[in-house]
Amino acid sequence: LFQQFGVLSALATALTSVLSALLLLALTRQLWSLRWSLTRDKESSLPLPKGSMGWPLVGETFHWLFQGSNFHISRRQRHGNVFKTHLLGKPVIRVTGAENVRKILLGEHSLVCTQWPQSTRIILGPNTLINSIGDLHKRKRKILAKVFSRGALESYLPRLQDVIKSEIAKWCSEPGAIDVYSAAKALTFRIAVRVLLGLQLEEERVVYLARIFEQLMNNLFSLPIDAPLSGLRKGIKAREILHANMKKIIEEKMERQQVEQEYQDFFDYMLSSAKEHGQQLSIQELKETAVELIFAAHSTTASASTSLVLQLLRHPAVVERARAELEAEDIICETQSSPSTNEGDAAITETTCLLSGVCHHCSDEDGFPRSWFHVPYLSLDKLSQLHYMDCVVKEVLRYLPPVSGGYRTALQTFELDGYQIPKGWSVMYSIRDTHETAAVFQSPELFDPDRFGLDRDESRASRFSYVPFGGGVRRCIGKELAQIILKTLAVELIGTCKWTLATENFPKMQTVPIVHPVNGLHVRFSCRHPL
């Protein structure tokens, strides 16, 4: 009996301890929620947005990490287009919807200001566009405007097309499948280094610098602790290596710069633009801006390029219609037989190519197999005539925007959807959710390029329903260049290549921090041959 009593007593004690712990957890959670409720602006009669602040210190960070995009979808369905949460140590208000996004994007420098993690600001440097605010930001955008002007873009295009042709030839030369996302990152890095920065480097050096840049990217969002082996220290080291490789060419350009000159690359346009605006840029400013340019163009364009290939794989009817447009515009030319072969040899070679799937009949100057079809050098005018191709690129950016949203900090308390956004809180506007829920898009769950056709153009009805490049004074300054890269890539792929998915199923897409296939997108490419 005494033994039974002891067991019951132990159970009661254990139960009391568990209940006490649960009550304590519930109390701390309530106190945590109360702590943030008290931060509401007392001068505003509006309530804070609905939502949960999660658990003390960690908030809802673990839910966010494990659930991915489903985290935001479930909370938007529960709380509406404006809800509060607590992520990565900060209170955040997540915002969806064209009108709400419009207010944030147009409120830059007055209602909100841009917000980047401290590690990002340190690694990229103080002279970059993303780290500047107010008048300094406006001055920097004016200087950079010439870098992305129509004249500059026209001058970049031939070299841009050369890089794309060369990379696609490598894809087609591979006997097995390639990971499109990795290949797209290599492509966009080469475009940034060779076309925009004008760095003429050996292939070995390009591969080395691409690896160094990956090291910078991998540590860009790290704890701001400058210690041996820390992410911040690794990121700073990678930045210094990149700077050292750019210093020589910058010095040479600054020495030979004249009043009249033929502009060739980013540095030429940048130096000329600064001079026109009565400013002189230091070598340090140019180095930091160059790294920022690679950062801005690299991952997002690689993401969009991968999404483009994914959608072309999923929708062969879209490919056929785009190819018909290229043929109608005389953009696809059939490559002539090699001068060194007679008709009989050419026929044998063609048969061999068709059987092997690799075109050895025509090779480029680097020895890579080349398609039987050829795309001549394009111009901006010629690209602008490809209306359906333009719709395809726009729909890729609507359906899978590379960046899911942007962060801002509230400079003052303001209203959204009947709620107050308190001064000092983080505000995250969602690009992806806005695209998915905008009423102007018919069947937004479908990939439908025709929604951007001239006779339909659903995005016209609401300017901020389609914001893959953001908007307002911080709209992506390289927007036109990104679209030109995607359009040129699409033209070359559709005009000269064939491709098949190398896996049984299409990959799932991860949306944080940038859209990309979870385990890669594995595709077999080959040269396109006459039917």
* CATH number of the domain residue 398 falls in: 1.10.630.10
Work out the mean pLDDT of the chain and round it to a whole number: 86
Q: How confident is residue 73, by pLDDT bands cut at 50, 70 and 90?
A: confident
Note whether residue 319 is domain-resident: yes
Residue 316: cis peptide before it, omega within 30 degrees of 0: no
Q: Please, are residues 375 and 495 in contact by the beta-carbon 8 Å criterion?
A: yes
Those residues whose C-beta lies under 8 Å from the C-beta of residue 498, and which sit 6 or more positions away, are 525, 526, 527, 528
The least confident of 93-102, 116-125, 334-343 is 334-343
* Residue of 465 and 262 predicted with greater confidence: 465
The least confident of 149-163, 218-232, 342-356 is 342-356
Residue 253 pLDDT exceeds 50:
yes
Residue 340 pLDDT exceeds 80:
no
DSSP 257: -
pLDDT at 368: 53
Residue 357 pLDDT exceeds 60:
no
Note whether residue 89 is domain-resident: no
The residue behind tokens 């067991």 is 7
Domain coverage including residue 209: 124-332+371-527
The two three-digit tokens of residue 357, written as one number: 């799937």
pLDDT at 5: 64
Q: Please, are residues 416 and 118 in contact by the beta-carbon 8 Å criterion?
A: no
Note whether residue 496 is domain-resident: yes
Average pLDDT over residues 445-469: 93
Residue 117 pLDDT exceeds 90:
no
Average pLDDT over residues 211-219: 90
Average pLDDT over residues 98-106: 95
Those residues whose C-beta lies under 8 Å from the C-beta of residue 358, and which sit 6 or more positions away, are 172, 173, 175, 369, 526, 527
Share of the chain above pLDDT 90, in %: 49
The two three-digit tokens of residue 71, written as one number: 């985290």
CB atoms closer than 10 angstroms to residue 99: 12
Backbone φ and ψ for 20, nearest 5 degrees, come out as: -65, -45
CB atoms closer than 10 angstroms to residue 172: 24
pLDDT at 339: 38
Total length of the chain: 531
Cα–Cα distances in angstroms (integers) from residue 364 to residues 168, 170, 243, 335, 377, in the given order: 11, 10, 33, 12, 15
Average pLDDT over residues 510-529: 88
Note whether residue 244 is domain-resident: yes
Residue 514 pLDDT exceeds 80:
yes
Residue 152 pLDDT exceeds 80:
yes
What residues are designated binding site for heme? Answer: 476
pLDDT at 4: 65
Note whether residue 63 is domain-resident: no
Q: How confident is residue 32, by pLDDT bands cut at 50, 70 and 90?
A: confident
Q: How confident is residue 503, by pLDDT bands cut at 50, 70 and 90?
A: very high
Residue 8 pLDDT exceeds 70:
no
Note whether residue 36 is domain-resident: no
Average pLDDT over residues 94-111: 94
The least confident of 195-204, 284-293, 470-479 is 195-204
What residues are designated binding site? Answer: 476
Q: Measured between alpha carbons, how far is 427 from 135 in angstroms, rounded to an integer?
A: 22
Q: Please, are residues 293 and 130 in contact by the beta-carbon 8 Å criterion?
A: no
Those residues whose C-beta lies under 8 Å from the C-beta of residue 531, and which sit 6 or more positions away, are none
The least confident of 34-38, 106-110, 130-134 is 130-134
Q: How confident is residue 525, by pLDDT bands cut at 50, 70 and 90?
A: very high
Task: Give the chain's end-to-end CA distance (angstroms, integer).
Answer: 93
Q: How confident is residue 366, by pLDDT bands cut at 50, 70 and 90?
A: low
Note whether residue 224 is domain-resident: yes
Coil, strand or helix: which one is 498?
strand
pLDDT at 373: 80
The least confident of 97-106, 334-343, 454-463 is 334-343
pLDDT at 346: 40
* Residue of 63 and 450 predicted with greater confidence: 450
> Based on the structure, what is the number of domains in the chain?
1
Q: Please, are residues 297 and 478 in contact by the beta-carbon 8 Å criterion?
A: yes
Average pLDDT over residues 41-55: 93
Average pLDDT over residues 2-21: 70
Note whether residue 70 is domain-resident: no
pLDDT at 337: 46
